[in-house]
Amino acid sequence: METGFEEYPCEICGKPSKNFIFAAHVCNDPECIEAARIARGGPGGHMKRKAEGKPIIPVELDRD
């Protein structure tokens, strides 16, 4: 399955992402992963993103 992660920058440092965890694309840098975990804000964090009007799924998958 194509992941296409390279098309998404790390949300913390801007380098090509390698992981999609804690509702965020991040690279393999542990500091970025930790930052994503904190940014997510624990359980329900992705709903917070949704409440802020940010997409919680890739745009490509949001199309019919």
- Of 60, 62, 63, the closest CA to residue 8 belongs to 60
SS3 31: helix
Q: Segment contacting Zn ion (CB under 5 A): 1-9, 23-31, 38-46, 50-58?
A: 23-31
Q: Which residue has the tokens 């380098």?
A: 15
Is 32 a binder of Zn ion (CB under 5 A)? Answer: yes
CB of 30 to Zn ion, least distance (A): 10
Q: Segment contacting Zn ion (CB under 5 A): 6-14, 33-41, 50-58?
A: 6-14
SS3 63: coil
Which residues lie near Zn ion (CB under 5 A)?
Answer: 10, 12-13, 27, 29, 32
